[in-house]
Amino acid sequence: MDVRAQLSMVFHLDKCIGCHTCTLACNNIWTSREGTEYMWWNNVETKPGTGYPTLWEDQTKYRGGWELKGKALRPRLGQRLGLMANLFFNPFLPSLDDYYEPWTYQYGQLFSAPQADDQPTARAVSKISGEFLNVEAGPNWDDDMGGSSVYARNDINLAELTDAEREALFRIEQMVFFYIPRICNHCLNPGCIGVCPSGAIYKRAEDGIVLVSQEKCRGWRFCVSGCPYKKTYYNWKTGKSEKCILCYPRVETGQAPACFHSCVGRIRYMGVLLYDAERIEEVAKTPDAGLVEAQRSLILDPNDAAVIAAAKKNGIGDDWIASAQKSPVYKFVKQWGIALPLHIEFRTLPMLFYIPPLLPVLASTGNGKYDLSKTDFFGSMESLRVPMKYMARLFSAGNEEIIKKTLKKLKAVRAYQQAQSVGIVTTSQASALLTEAGCTADEAEAIFRLTSLPRFEDRFVLPPYHREEVIGLTIEPIKQKERVGFGFNQLPRRGP
């Protein structure tokens, strides 16, 4: 057992209102520079939809993540030699058109235009070339389905649905969607690291944050294709790749990352998970249907004496172990089993988990109204507004049982709480649902409290870093800054 710690995340999708506050908090701190205007390290997508960059989930297009070839796990992008042969032109690299061309407006024109018969206008100009631009797409133009069913229809997760199911989903009065905020998943088996020819990307062993060394990166851009979530970006100005750094300068000083801190819906949770690094490869090779369970088995019980001993042997401090014991992420993912990874079939073992949304699935509109009263909704698949198959494509590599189990528990918790406070549901109905979901009343109460009434320090259980001591004792702080990720002693200018 090789115990390591991972700063891990849970997003509760039922609580997300799609306001993009997280996106802007991140953008204000990290990506409002030349070369990064088009990057959104955090973005919020509407599902069903095509996302950003367009169709990022389609790995036949971008070749991200890993594939199982016989007994070997290989980057979908290609073998090492094949990859090197594509050094001068990567055929699977998403280009600016797949994101969007960043633009601004000629605001100055409004004041400096000469007197004329017409009002002056501020035309759109490209932020890259400065030339006039016909704005045709933006990073979130499929927001709330973008006013048409085009975006939703092109969602590749709907491919397995029958035509009837798909049409049912798109009937305008049935239309349903939910939001899914995305950041770097800080995976255990990252695709970006696996294909980086320079060896510039690395995972920090102490907390699992994945970073790009700006000094070592040579701009070969394979990480951009290799990340199946399209969360590494190429800075066209500096010629280096950049990605979400999980706000490590904030985390190291005890603050939650900007996107977490600013979340209006309070959907985000952060805490430490202990995992067994020895079994990463074995788990990443599990057949699709078993992947979610296999990844869960990788996460270790921080209260287990053997795990604690092994953690200490690996240099994980008592305060980190204590933090792992209080981790809200551990509760949601492992203890209660209601948080699921996004597209685990990419086999990168993402460490960001989503609690799937219950509401858009649950309600039916059989009588033309938004109807929550049906209790047998899992029995009749046609009354579901979002087919189970679709949710399974997103969150469980196609395994519908896992989704059913999760949603059953969420529904039971809701019923339990309704029985307690509103009385729409009777106590016996609620306890029947609880039994069916394999959930105790205490557990339901705990899930309810952490979902609806968490305080700031319940949502973000950040482990104490002791970088200041370690750094001060061993190395000059300025030098240390150079070594880890984004530390600049000079302006990050493009080479001549």
Partner 1 sequence: MLETFLFGVFPYVAFAIMIVGLIWRYRTNQFSYSSVSSQFLEKRQLFWGSVPWHYGIILVLLGHLVGVLFPEGVKAINGVPVRLYILEGTGLALSLSLLVGLVILMLRRGISANVRATTSFMDVVLLIVLLAQVVTGIITAIFYRWGSAWSVQTTIPYFWSLFTLSPKVAYMVALPLLTKLHAINFFLLLGLFPFSRLVHMLSVPLAYLWRPYQIVMWHRRQTQQ
Minimum CB separation from partner 1 for residue 431, in Å?
47
Run of H or E residues at 467: helix 467-474
Residues 178, 361 contacting (CB under 8 angstroms): no
CB nearer to partner 1: give 131 or 173.
Answer: 131
Q: Which residue has the tokens 């969360």?
A: 231
* Count of residues interacting with partner 1 (CB under 8 A): 65
User: Applying CB under 8 A, does 217 fall inside the site for partner 1?
Assistant: yes
157, two tokens: 């997760």
Closest approach of partner 1 to the CB of residue 257, in Å: 19
Q: List the x/- string, 434-473, binding to partner 1 by CB under 8 A.
A: ---------------------------------x--xx--
Nearest approach in angstroms of CB 216 to partner 1 is 8
Hunting for tokens 């270790």 — which residue is that? 300
φ and ψ of 73, to 5 deg: -100, 120
Tell me if 306 contacts partner 1 by CB under 8 A.
no
Taking the least distance from each CB to partner 1, the nearer of 316 and 386 is: 316
As measured in angstroms, the least distance from the Cβ of 23 to partner 1 is 21
- The residues in 7-36 that bind partner 1, with binding defined as CB under 8 A, are none
Residue with smaller CB distance to partner 1, 203 or 331 = 203
Count CB neighbours of 77 within 10 A: 26
Q: Which is nearer to partner 1, 143 or 206 (CB)?
A: 206
* 8 Å CB contact between 437 and 415: no
Taking the complex as a whole, how short is the minimal distance between the CB of residue 406 and partner 1, in angstroms? 30
What separation in angstroms does the CA of 250 have from each of 256, 257, 260, 321?
6, 6, 11, 20
Minimum distance between the CB of residue 87 and partner 1, rounded to whole angstroms? 8
Residue 266 backbone dihedrals phi, psi, to 5 degrees: 50, 45
What single-letter amino acid sits at 473? Answer: L
The answer to whether residue 135 forms part of the interface with partner 1 (CB under 8 A) is: no
Backbone angles phi, psi at 5, to 5 degrees: -105, 145
Tokens of 456: 């700031």
For position 81 contacting partner 1 by CB under 8 A, the verdict is yes
Residue from 368, 379, 423, 495 touching partner 1 (CB under 8 A): that is 495
Is residue 278 within 8 Å of 303, Cβ to Cβ? Answer: no
Which 234-253 residues touch partner 1, going by CB under 8 A?
A: 234, 236-240
Q: Does 202 bind partner 1 (CB under 8 A)?
A: yes
Q: Which residues, in sequence order, are CB contacts of 415 under 8 Å at separation 6+?
A: 425, 429, 430, 433, 434
Half-sphere exposure of 54 (CA within 13 A, CB side): 16
- By rule CB under 8 A, what string of x and - marks binding of each residue 250-279 to partner 1? ---------------------------x--
If binding is defined by CB under 8 A, does position 419 make contact with partner 1? no
Cα 340 from Cα 347, distance rounded (Å): 14
Options 47-55, 197-205, 293-301, 436-444: segment touching partner 1 (CB under 8 A): 197-205
Q: Cβ distance 444 to 413 under 8 Å?
A: yes
Provide the token pair at 330.
């551990």
Alpha-carbon span 321 to 4, nearest angstrom: 10
Backbone angles phi, psi at 161, to 5 degrees: -75, 150
H or E element: which one contains 409? helix 400-421
Kindly tell me which residue out of 42, 90, 232, 364 binds partner 1, with binding defined by CB under 8 A.
Answer: 90
**Contacting partner 1 (CB under 8 A), which of 45, 206, 345, 443?**
206
Of 49 and 78, nearer to partner 1 (C-beta) is 78
126 binds partner 1 (CB under 8 A): yes
Q: Is 212 helix (H, G, I), strand (E, B) or coil?
A: strand
**Near partner 1 by CB under 8 A: residue from 65, 139, 190, 265:** 190
How near is the Cβ of 92 to partner 1 at its closest, in Å?
Answer: 11
Residue 471 tokens read as 């750094």
Q: Minimum Å distance from CB 129 to partner 1?
A: 4
Among 42, 189, 286, 396, binds partner 1 (CB under 8 A): 189
Is 93 a binding residue for partner 1 by CB under 8 A? The answer is yes
Is 3 a binding residue for partner 1 by CB under 8 A? The answer is no
Task: Report whether 297 contacts 21 (CB < 8 A).
Answer: no
For partner 1, the closer CB: 221 or 385: 221
Q: What is the DSSP string of 346-383?
A: G-S--SEEEE--SHHHH-B-TTSS-B---S-TTT-GGG
The smaller minimum CB distance to partner 1, of residues 300 and 425, is found at: 300
Name the nearest CA neighbour of 340 among 400, 385, 382, 285. Answer: 400
474 binds partner 1 (CB under 8 A): yes
For partner 1, the binding residues (CB under 8 A) are 75, 80-81, 83-84, 87-90, 93, 95-96, 101, 126, 128-131, 189-190, 193-194, 196-199, 201-206, 214-221, 224, 234, 236-240, 277, 280, 315, 467, 470-471, 474-475, 480, 483-484, 488, 490, 492-496
